[in-house]
Amino acid sequence: MRLHFHGHACFEIEGVEGRILIDPFLSGNPSATVKPEDFTHLDAILVTHGHDDHLGDAIELSKQTGAPIICVFELAHYCKSQGAKTHAMHIGGKHQFPFGLVKLTQALHGSGIISPDGETMIYGGLACGFLIQMEGKWLYYAGDTGLFGDMELIGRRYPIEVAMLPIGDNFVMGVEEAVHASQLLRPKVVIPMHYNTFPVIAQDVEEFLHLLQRRVPESQGKALKPGDLYEV
């Protein structure tokens, strides 16, 4: 299984049974190394919430590839109204897809969608994270979230191979909180995300890696640059 990082919080995951894209913020992403038109085949598009830097190009990509957008019910309703194919779920639920199993987890964040005229906010349901099982391995994509105690429950119930955690602060967890989240989750590998895309979320990733090594030595930190590939 291969994880491609496309900048900000966008990951492409390729396994034997399929190819998925998570939070495809590509157009307008200053760090992205790929464009929506580069994707001709996808098996699914997973979206954690309705903010522009996560919903991103999901609707366009669904129309382009025929891949369903997997997300919470309310956001799926909006995406379907825009012509996308969807599979609605909600927090705590799971579903077996041809490419693997997806379970929705909580995330402490919002999910409003800014209307095309920029004047109103459309309700997008609750923000979520994802537990994904592919090729017998569990991946945890936290989405945009603050630290919450039930991360310990997630870590106890699922043997997490890779956890993708935000470290940018301001809108999400910062460095210290993400390290504490790693203590609760106990993954083999932690990949930081959602930092340095914009000045307001600027962080020193080396500080995160250093603190993780010191406080959670059983978890290996792996910082990816946009365009980097990680083999699981």
Asked if the structure places residue 232 within a domain, the reply is no
Domain that holds residue 15: 1-90+110-132
Q: Is 23 in the same domain as 121? A: yes
Using alpha carbons only, give the angle 33, 82, 93 rounded to the nearest 5 degrees: 80
User: Could you say which of 100, 132, 164 is where a domain stops?
Assistant: 132
Q: Is 80 in the same domain as 154? A: no
Residue that the structure tokens 């900048």 belong to: 7
Q: Is 66 in the same domain as 165? A: no
Task: Measure the CA–CA gap between 213 and 209, rounded to whole angstroms.
Answer: 6
The contacts of residue 61 (CB under 8 Å, 6+ apart) are 21, 24, 36, 39, 42, 45, 67
Domain harbouring 203, CATH code: 3.60.15.10
Q: Is 28 in the same domain as 120? A: yes
Q: Is 117 in the same domain as 207? A: no
60-105 pLDDT, tens per residue? 999 999 999 999 999 999 999 999 999 999 999 999 999 999 999 9
Asked if the structure places residue 137 within a domain, the reply is no
What's the pLDDT band for 228 if we cut at 50, 70, 90? very high
Predicted confidence at residue 117, as pLDDT, reads 86
Q: Is 36 in the same domain as 123? A: yes
Q: How many domains are contained in the chain? A: 2
Percent of the chain, pLDDT > 70?
A: 100
Asked if the structure places residue 98 within a domain, the reply is no
Predicted confidence at residue 118, as pLDDT, reads 85
Q: Is 32 in the same domain as 55? A: yes
Nearest alpha carbon to residue 16 among 109, 135, 102: 135
